[in-house]
Amino acid sequence: MSEENQLEENGSFEETAPISDTAGPGDALPAVEKEPSRFAKFMQTFLRWSVLILGVFAIGMLVSYILFGAPLARQLKEATATIESQNQSLDEANDTMTALRADLDGEKELRLQAELALDEVEGRYEAMAVIRYVQQAQVALLQEDNTAVKAALGNAEAEFEKLDLYLTSKDPDLADTILSRLALVGKEYISDPVTASQDMVILLDRLLEAEALFEK
């Protein structure tokens, strides 16, 4: 069987490159280009897609920063500036409140001093008022005018109720002594005018002591 028939039976022919009649024994055969393997094609495709994906990702990051990152950074900067401004305002307000409290404390101290001074003046005034009415009662007693004595002692008792508000805080024993002596004179001036006159002298001495307490 010839070689051609054998190839036909195998179902294929292999084409062979024609051999030039002019080729010499020293001439090289023409190069045959090989197709890239499947792995090489896969790697080429993979690299192309990788570069494409990285490019898209980078573009997306840039767009995201432009759309979101830059405004957020600007907002954060503005918010930080606002907080710093508010903190400064709070510090200034706190300083103002501290100064106002100091002024208020000073005003309270001045007001307290004024109230104490007023109490002193009012206490002395009430003591002098009681002294005046007791002196009027003393003169009426010498004139044997019991009606005038009664009226003067009544006024003295009314004024002493006002004096007692100031005198009790300074000398409560003295306040009790004056009140007791004033009540005693009110009982004696009719039945024992002489003793009543002596008690009026003692009463006036105690009232002068009370007046002196408000002069300090």
- What is the fold, at CATH topology level, of the domain defined by 116-213? Four Helix Bundle (Hemerythrin (Met), subunit A) (1.20.120)
Where along the chain do its domains lie?
Answer: 116-213
What CA–CA distance (Å, rounded) separates 159 from 167? 12
Q: Give the CA-trace dihedral at 49, 53, 58, 62, to 10 degrees.
A: 130
Q: How far apart are CA 84 and CA 22, in angstroms?
A: 95
Q: For the residues of 116-147, what is the DSSP string, one character each?
A: HHHHHHHHHHHHHHHHHHHHHHHHHHHTT-HH
Give the whole-angstrom CA distance, residue 40 versus residue 37: 5
Which residue is associated with the tokens 């759309």?
A: 67
> What is this structure's pTM?
0.53
The tens place of each residue's pLDDT in the chain, 216 residues long, gives 444 444 444 444 444 444 444 444 444 445 545 566 666 666 667 677 777 777 766 676 666 666 665 566 666 676 677 777 767 766 776 677 677 667 767 777 778 787 888 888 888 899 999 999 999 999 999 999 999 999 999 999 999 999 999 999 999 999 999 999 999 999 999 999 999 999 999 999 999 999 999 875
What distance in Å separates the CA atoms of residue 130 and residue 154, rounded to the nearest whole number? Answer: 10
Buried residues in 20-53 as b, exposed as e (16+ CB within 10 A): eeeeeeeeeeeeeeeeeeeeeeeeeeeeeeeeee
Going 198 to 199 to 202 to 207, the CA torsion angle's sign is negative
Residue from 130, 210, 133 nearest 177 by CA? 210
